[in-house]
Amino acid sequence: MWCYAGALYTGSLTDYGEHFESLDLDVRHRLAAAGDELRTWTDRYRLHITTTPTDTSCLRYRLAVVDEWVELVLDPSW
């Protein structure tokens, strides 16, 4: 689960990736710089976000927690 703008969200890391994709580019940059905290009912984890440019002017985001990760390729122009 994670909290954003005062609302609590639950789901998998893939669900968080879909949430991350819906955010404004500025918010994505802030989260990539600072990371985020994800929680289970008993533990908390630091989400690490790395950003890599692609050869097609898109950005590849890798969202990783412990031994699980999700990769997103997003066009920063939309």
pLDDT tens per residue, range 23-70? 988 898 898 898 889 998 899 999 999 999 998 889 999 999 998 999
**Backbone torsions φ then ψ of 61, nearest 5 degrees:** -105, 130
The pLDDT, as a whole number, for residue 25 is 86
Report residue 78's pLDDT band, with 50, 70 and 90 as the boundaries. low
Whether the Cβ atoms of residue 8 and residue 1 lie closer than 8 Å to each other: yes
Whether the Cβ atoms of residue 36 and residue 47 lie closer than 8 Å to each other: yes
Beta-ladder partners of 53: 59
- Residue recorded with tokens 């802030």: 30
Give the predicted TM-score (pTM) of the model: 0.84
- CB-CB neighbours of 33 under 10 Å: 9
The pLDDT, as a whole number, for residue 35 is 85
